[in-house]
Amino acid sequence: MPRKPPFSVDVSIPSTFYTPAAIRDEYYTPYSPTTDTSRFLQNDLSVECLNCIHKYLWLAGRPMPPRPLNHQTATSRQIVPDERIDMHMVWEPSRRIHLKPLPRYLLSHQFWKSYLICKEHCPCTSNYIYCQTERGDGVCQQKHLYQCGLGLLYSYIALIERESDFAIAQDQHLLPHNVTWEMWVKLVKELLDNGATNPEYVNARYLFGELRLSRLNKIYMFHHGSILRGYHFTYQTYTELFYDYLTPLTATIVYVALVLTAMQVGLATKLGGNVA
């Protein structure tokens, strides 16, 4: 586990404020992220909902980095800025791809050092690779957040390869406004030189790039055994949900009924011929 930020102070992007003005808790009540930075980072970076179905992700996407932004627009995809980390690089059949804007705190060397690096007493900084936590997955919270943060940075290395990609990112507000193309080039070079693409340092979710929402919904239904437990539904009401799922079911029933009717008619014709 690295004991230092993935880039140096020289390429760090200066900023006065690193976190949002307010976020919501599990009861949808706004609160300041500075009052509990650990909880904020867990909500803003953790992709555990995808990690729990990691062995099925190959059904929703290919194990490769996302294609750059210029390719996304060239294929008529609408780029949708979406602050939900579990929707980052998830695309819909309606040609919309969700992208989480790159948080400015991930571009700060000091922020990484203060909140995303394991402390001296953590077993991750010794000869142990993992340390047990309350989650029971064997990875300490700091290492988990480090891997998620680096994975998000890694995804943007792939999304913003050329200056045209950078222009699209700025236009869609995917990058902080004070980041210049020259700053981005220097940052990416240092990240790649420091091994940002090493699978050991990146959360397993980011080994996959673009994921198809409709297939993620089916994976979640299979995983939880309920049609009401999808990954993320785009429906506004249950009526829309049942209509979408009952339409193909109704078509299947009609098709089976027609086949059975045809078989019954054929059998009756054959029996009638034998009687004659």
- Examine the domain organization and report whether 210 and 246 are in the same domain: no
Which residue, chain included where needed, has tokens 């019954």?
A: 264
Q: How confident is the model at residue 65 (pLDDT cuts 50, 70, 90)?
A: very high
pLDDT at residue number 129: 41
Three-state secondary structure call for residue 18: coil
Q: Give the Cα separation of 129 and 196 in Å (integer).
A: 18
Kind and range of the H or E run holding 223: helix 213-224
- Examine the domain organization and report whether 75 and 146 are in the same domain: yes
Strand blocks (E) in the chain? 23-24, 30-31, 78-81, 90-92, 96-99, 211-212
Which residue, chain included where needed, has tokens 């949808």?
A: 28
- Examine the domain organization and report whether 249 and 194 are in the same domain: no
Q: Could you tell me the residue range of the domain that residue 247 belongs to? A: 240-275
222 or 15, which is more confident = 222
Q: Give the Cα separation of 216 and 68 in Å (integer).
A: 22
Percent of the chain topping pLDDT 70: 79
- Examine the domain organization and report whether 190 and 252 are in the same domain: no
Which long-range contacts (C-beta less than 8 Å, at least 24 apart) are formed by 159-168?
159/66, 159/68, 159/69, 159/99, 160/68, 160/69, 160/184, 160/188, 161/68, 162/68, 162/70, 164/69, 164/70, 165/68, 165/69, 165/70, 168/69, 168/70, 168/73, 168/79
pLDDT at residue number 136: 42
Mean pLDDT of 39-55: 91
Asked if 164 and 70 count as a contact pair (C-beta separation under 8 A), the reply is yes
Predicted confidence (pLDDT) per residue in 2-31, tens digit: 678 899 999 988 777 788 899 888 888 898
What pTM value is reported for the model? Answer: 0.79
- Examine the domain organization and report whether 192 and 246 are in the same domain: no
